[in-house]
Amino acid sequence: METLKIIKIGGNIIDDDKALNDFLAGFATLPGPKLLVHGGGKLATKLADKMKVEVKMTNGRRITDADTLDIITMVYAGKINKNIVAKLQALNCNSIGFSGADGNSIVSVKRPVKEVDFGFVGDIEKVNTKTLNVLLNNQVTPVFCAITHNGKGQLFNTNADTIASELAIGFANQYKTELYYFFEKKGVLKDLNDDNSVIENINTKSYKKFIDEGIIADGMLPKLNNCFHAIENKVSKVCIGNPTMLFQTNSKFTTIEK
Amino acid sequence: METLKIIKIGGNIIDDDKALNDFLAGFATLPGPKLLVHGGGKLATKLADKMKVEVKMTNGRRITDADTLDIITMVYAGKINKNIVAKLQALNCNSIGFSGADGNSIVSVKRPVKEVDFGFVGDIEKVNTKTLNVLLNNQVTPVFCAITHNGKGQLFNTNADTIASELAIGFANQYKTELYYFFEKKGVLKDLNDDNSVIENINTKSYKKFIDEGIIADGMLPKLNNCFHAIENKVSKVCIGNPTMLFQTNSKFTTIEK
């Protein structure tokens, strides 16, 4: 099977012009089919401030009311996505911007209300690879923002890490899928204050231990849950770290194993 | 040759939820390959107001500075485009949102500075139909917002009427292309106060006469220039009027002829 690389870049890369341009320059040169997923960074919060729309958070999770969904759709699918696509075209990487509504590629359902009503937040139900495959077969690179739809006309805010892992799982029957989570750190760190304390391998057993010891906590937990979900569903490789891992043989990063 | 319908809807349809939903319900049922181009309506101006970004106009033309380009990209490519795509998916019309950067489909150059520097406004140089054709052949409907790029990483604001006519011309060697400009009126009117005074046919000769007599003026001139540009460049049919023309046999509208 051919290899499909699915790469997710986080807000710290999006928010830093140089980091973004450097990443895209490398990404554009990657051979073979590939797919990019980007987060939103701080731009949505900045726009909400300017528009005097209050950003509601609960336990560090954004509550997406109608105004916030509009802002996210404008910033993620509009400004960030189209500028990335334009930059990739300048690098001779033929790309098309996607939300989950485009090509009906990611269908989600409104997150069920338990203690918290997250508002217009979608949990992914189904990935449709048909239209995406047509594009990949024609050397086109889809670029996904973190928006899905319910197939009934409603857009939803959806976690970009989850979009990346569900896409990787969705393609795992047709491609050998490799999933890369890129952020500003070199990998999952044992000591947050020591950038060189990268944990090079995490498996199901050591993951449990790291959680028990409090070494892996907070925002890293949902990211790693996405990684294990992917590796348990036929994704052949899952890595977390800095984009350098793709281009430098001696760079350290974290690999997730069963 | 197969027929490709290229339909442009204006701001008055975009701004009116019922008009938009009615149009999309009809559009979704149109058989054969089709392509939608949408304008921006008043949403960009509203957002600029909220963000306290001044909208600069000269002779009724928008000057696009960097902040305005951001707003346009957010509103046109983000909010409007993705909501239309989500609505079309709900109507079982598989669509993908496009700017000219996506698929490198519309390349433009910055409008030359003469008396006025229009800022980030692009004049179309080239339409690339390759990626679009792959999608049309797979029953996918591209939905274009009024944004192009220069192939060097810069997005541009571009007139939606012109995008529609240049797309129709770009496809004229591969399809029998039909170009429809839809707005709130029944067609080009002899008397702006009489909605039933539709001019049913305009050709090059009568166009000149209508201009000389002041019957066709103002905003209708650039629209009709786009129509004649299309009809003179192998587009087989150009019509202006209300969406009803596609679905009701007895509706009046304007047809442009050589």
pLDDT at A257: 93
- Which chain B residue's Cα is nearest to A77? B78
Chain A residues whose CB is inside 8 A of the B151 CB are 89-90
Instruction: Give whole-number Cα distances, A208 to A61, A198, A202, A215, A225, in Å.
Output: 23, 17, 10, 10, 11
Interface mutation vs chain B, best among A72, A82, A126, most B CBs within 10 Å: A82
CA quadruple A157, A158, A164, A170: dihedral positive or negative? negative
**Which range (A57-61, A78-82, B30-34) has the least confidence?**
A57-61
Q: Which fold has domain A8-158?
A: Carbamate kinase (3.40.1160)
Q: What is the dihedral of CA A53, A54, A59, A64, to 10 degrees?
A: -30
pLDDT at B40: 87
Stated as kind and residue range, the H or E segment containing B57 is strand B56-58
C-alpha distance from A240 to closest chain B C-alpha (Å): 28
How high is the ipTM of this complex? 0.96
Question: Residues with Cβ < 8 Å from B215, sequence gap 6 or more?
Answer: B190, B199
Stated as kind and residue range, the H or E segment containing A95 is strand A95-98
Going residue by residue through chain B (258 aa), what tens digit of pLDDT does each one get? 999 999 999 989 999 999 999 999 999 999 999 999 998 878 888 898 888 888 787 776 678 999 999 999 999 999 999 999 999 999 999 999 999 999 999 999 999 998 888 999 999 999 999 999 999 999 999 999 999 999 999 999 999 999 999 999 999 999 999 999 999 899 999 998 999 999 999 999 999 999 999 999 888 899 999 999 999 999 999 999 999 898 888 889 999 998
b/e code A6-42 from CB counts within 10 Å (16+ = b): bbbbbbbbbbeeebbeebbeebbeeeebbbbbbbbbe
Interface mutation vs chain B, best among A46, A49, A67, A73, most B CBs within 10 Å: A73
> How many other β-carbons are positioned within 10 Å of the β-carbon of residue B247?
14
pLDDT at B60: 67
Chain A residues whose CB is inside 8 A of the B46 CB are none
Q: Which of A135, A138, A155 is opposite residue B82, by nearest beta carbon?
A: A155
Q: For chain A, which residues lie within 8 Å of any Cβ of chain B, measuring from their own Cβ?
A: 47, 50-52, 70, 73-79, 81-83, 85-87, 89-90, 94-99, 101-104, 131, 134-135, 138, 140, 147, 149, 151-155
- Which chain B residue's Cα is nearest to A50? B51
Encode pLDDT of A6-32 as tens digits.
999 998 999 999 999 999 999 999 999
pLDDT at B198: 96
Average pLDDT over residues A114-138: 95
pLDDT at B187: 95
For A141, the token pair is: 């690179």
For A158, the token pair is: 């959806």
| Rounded distance between C-alpha atoms, residue A107 and residue A168, angstroms | 15
- Whether B97 sits inside 8 A of A94 (CB atoms) is no
pLDDT at A60: 67
| Rounded distance between C-alpha atoms, residue A71 and residue A69, angstroms | 5
Question: Residues with Cβ < 8 Å from A239, sequence gap 6 or more?
Answer: A178, A179, A180, A181, A245, A253, A254, A255, A256
pLDDT at residue A136 tops 80: yes
B3-214+224-256 is classed in which CATH architecture? 3-Layer(aba) Sandwich (3.40)
Q: Tell me the pLDDT band of A54, cut-offs 50, 70 and 90.
A: confident
Q: Helices marked H in chain B — which ranges?
A: 11-14, 17-29, 43-50, 66-72, 81-90, 130-137, 160-170, 204-212, 220-231, 244-247
In chain A, what are the domain boundaries? Answer: 8-158, 176-258
For A32, the token pair is: 């073979």
| Rounded distance between C-alpha atoms, residue A137 and residue B131, angstroms | 11
